[in-house]
Structure 1
């Protein structure tokens, strides 16, 4: 059955269209976008009255950690969960993310082997609600500080081991491999400068991933790690806070193939966190403050040169739970000098390009992943942080949340 959403203002992924429009959806795709005055009733169509609200693409979380347990519905004060509880939390987090207007997610690594592949299949089959998911596997990295291990080096070290790891991921059905190329001061102080792979290992990763048809997501802070990520053909680089002029130039040279997500959400959340006395976040707060100061210069400079920069901010910590992901848009406005429209584009059209799918735009022929918003996010992106203001959530033409009568 066709669906007609009428009398809406449209942010199409690039900008706000002039006047009110109607959108006709047939199957899982947008059949037409027309001025409201030129399209009345459609025979047999289910009609959704927009009443002047804003229709926009579903948002894309470009740095998703669905296996990081904490969400706005349930906080975990331990990072590593038993396998049964990890699955419960992960399935919940997928639904929470969709509930908050994110219809697509690109994984930045998992805490369980194979769990995201199972989740992606369950979502695709309609067995559980969640966003379109590019699944990943365990973050391939040396361990962090005691009790906060985020990954594992399995299959050993060296180029052959890397190739075996990529083959293993291909067989599992992984869409993107997460390589932690540099350390992480927030989890293990003083390690962000460390480079955790050799040139030969990263070259092998890039070659094997290309042959297997897989993407690579990379955690990289300093110039050497950024250089290795780019030479491996990384689909996306996270953080890059300490990029120097040469590293920034290299990122721009690769801007048609590589995306960038600074991931400020976790930094702002860490700075605002008020942990109990027995939890010491001083090193995490110091690292976050330094990163935000650097990124406040780096991000606008790269944007001005055409880098595709995406939202996504390590949500899933107890102080930064999943469900607050839309806060990144306001952070881009407040800290990086984005206009609301530019922040929305980063969360929709550019995120859709990362996914490699026809999502992130309100455009004829594209997948009908849509939000109906009470208010105008092109003027105030903060309204997207209130899920009550998202009156409708549609994924592939199917209503996850129907507007009130």
Structure 2
């Protein structure tokens, strides 16, 4: 390990504790060992922490805040460019090694904890355990297994003439018995959360407002069995109907919910259900228009962004908790680069204040990591010392948290993470990527008497 350890460190600057409480303009956070020992106004810093031998970091112009919690990553996905690359390419052994390598990027970006929302094979749980055992550096993880899906769900995207790929990040369930068996097997294998593919993607389904992959009774069965086994459950639910089913069933939180309606909002409030919108992936698709995605796909995701702005903004104003998540793991959201983009989207698109967005990426996001409940997400005495020292003021410009040069110090469990030693580029092996002749079809142009590539 290249990290350094100090018995006591004082971090100085504006203090944002992760809650919605008022910032401390000139504050101090004391870290002793792996935990936070004191938080308050710097003028009231106890004499015991004023010794010349104590390490002091930060000062004027800095902000001290909790480490970011990313409520939606996929550490096993390896920045796949397509469902085919994800499900069919790369041996499972290499996926695990690659995931550990990528976990270090996530931590260095200031993400000290994350929820892995679906895995290929059982890679995410293995990475979680290896990090927790001290074998490798990475964020604290809570993990789902392969998400439960039906033929109408997110993961069953391959032709029916072929078998369901073993490398897909889902498990196909065909009956109530198979649903129960899948839940029990994943709990046996050590997952923290059961994830369900409750709807398809808005780019695939013809009815984004009114479709669900499971019946209302099946949603109820999943929630009941998961909670009986003392686990949490979450759901990929973009459509109105899937949100309603999940909220009625008492799922612990919902992912996406772009087309949530007033009834869904009321159910979320009644059952204390939060939402992880995960708009960064959509935003990056829209921003990359003209690069690779087709115009029709761009229009679909623009429409979903517009719907999310209206519906999720209304949900938050009504009192539904929101959680920041990046969906890092796809090629559009590479590890270590886009984890703080969601905060900017929350501010610009959903109308949150920067303080509210930071809360959504720290304290509020801790609901996604039940194994660390009450120990992460806040700068509070006896919490784990997962701390960021930021050069600048994210309350004035929320994009500050996206600039790696502004992340002055990343601390996880009281240990300062090495963010300066460059991570060498790695070789990408042929078995990781699918190969094509051209990104389209080579058509003959009669006027130029030559060929041209068309999508």
1:2 corresponds to which of 2, 7, 24:
7
Structure 1 residue 305: Cα displacement: 1.3
The equivalent residue for 1:139 is 147
Which residue, out of 204, 208, 226, partners 2:221?
Answer: 204
The answer for the alignment partner of 1:262 in structure 2 is: 277
Q: Which residue among 350, 367, 374 is the counterpart of 1:336?
A: 350
TM-score of the pair, normalised by structure 1: 0.89
- 1:190 maps to 206
Does the Cα contact within 8 Å between 1:158 and 1:201 map onto a contact in 2?
Answer: no
| DSSP-derived class of the 1:62 partner | strand
Structure 1 contact 4–45 (Cα < 8 Å) conserved = no
Structure 1 match to 2:262: 245
Per-residue CA shift, 1:267-315, capped at 9, x if unaligned? 1111111465xx5533431221111111111122111111110111322
| Structure 1 range deviating more: 38-47 or 86-95 | 38-47
Deviation of residue 189 (structure 1)?
A: 4.5
**Counterparts of residues 75-94 of structure 1 (less than 5 Å):** 78-80=85-87, 81-82=89-90, 83-94=92-103
Q: Distance in 2 between matches of 1:63 and 1:214?
A: 18
Question: Residue 338 and residue 395 in structure 1: after superposition, are their counterparts in 2 closer, same or farther (change >3 A)?
Answer: same
The equivalent position to 2:398 in structure 1, one of 358, 381, 393, is: 381
Give the structure with higher Rg (CA): 2
Match of 2:125 in 1: 117
Which residue does the alignment assign to 2:41?
35
Q: Residues 25 and 163 (structure 1 numbering): CA distance in 2 closer, same or farther, change over 3 Å? A: same
Aligned to 2:170: 152
**Deviation for aligned residue 1:35:** 2.6
Map 1:251-290; keep pairs closer than 5 Å.
Answer: 251-254=268-271, 256=272, 258-274=273-289, 280-290=293-303
Offset from partner CA, 1:316-339 (integer Å, 9 cap, x none): 222222221111111111111111
Measured against aligned partners, the alpha-carbon deviations of 1:3-38 in whole angstroms (never above 9, x if no partner) come to: 222432211113453332222222221111233233
**Equivalence for 2:316:** 303
Superposition RMSD in Å: 2.7
2:170 match: secondary structure: coil
Secondary structure of 1:20's match?
strand
8 Å contact 1:6–1:36 — kept in the other structure? no
Matches of 1:103 and 1:77 in 2, distance apart?
30
Q: Deviations over 1:213-252 (max 9, x none)?
A: 1111101122321122123321211111122222222222
Name the structure 2 match of 1:130.
Answer: 138
Tell me which of 220, 223, 239 is aligned to 2:237: 220
Where 1:123 maps in the other structure, the secondary structure is: helix
1:169 corresponds to which residue?
A: 186
Q: Is the 8 A contact 1:3 1:45 kept in 2?
A: no
Hey, what does 2:73 align to over in structure 1?
A: 64
Q: In structure 2, how many angstroms separate the alpha carbons of the residues matched to 1:181 and 1:18?
A: 42
d(CA) in 2 for partners of 1:283, 1:215 = 36
| 1:153-203 CA-partner distances (Å, limit 9, x unpaired) | 34x4222221111110111010011100111133x3536443211233222
Please report how far the alpha carbon of residue 76 of structure 1 lies from its aligned counterpart in structure 2 after TM superposition. Answer: 12
Which secondary structure does the structure 2 equivalent of 1:207 belong to?
helix
Q: Which residue number corresponds to residue 349 of structure 1? A: 363
Counterpart in 1 of 2:104?
Answer: 95
2:211–2:240 Cα contact (<8 Å) kept: no
Q: CA deviation at 1:204?
A: 1.7
Offset, 1:61: 0.7
Change in CA separation of 1:300 and 1:8 when aligned onto 2, cut-off 3 Å? same
Between the aligned partners of 1:23 and 1:92, the Cα distance in structure 2 is 31
Tell me if structure 2 keeps the 8 A contact 1:106–1:134.
yes
Give the CA deviation at 1:210: 0.8
Query: Is the 8 Å Cα contact of residues 11 and 378 (structure 1) preserved in structure 2?
Result: no
Matched residues, number: 395
The match for 2:452 is: none
Gaps of 5+ in 2: 1-5, 422-455
Q: Give the deviation of 1:49 after TM superposition.
A: 2.4
Maintained 8 Å contact 1:70/1:321: yes
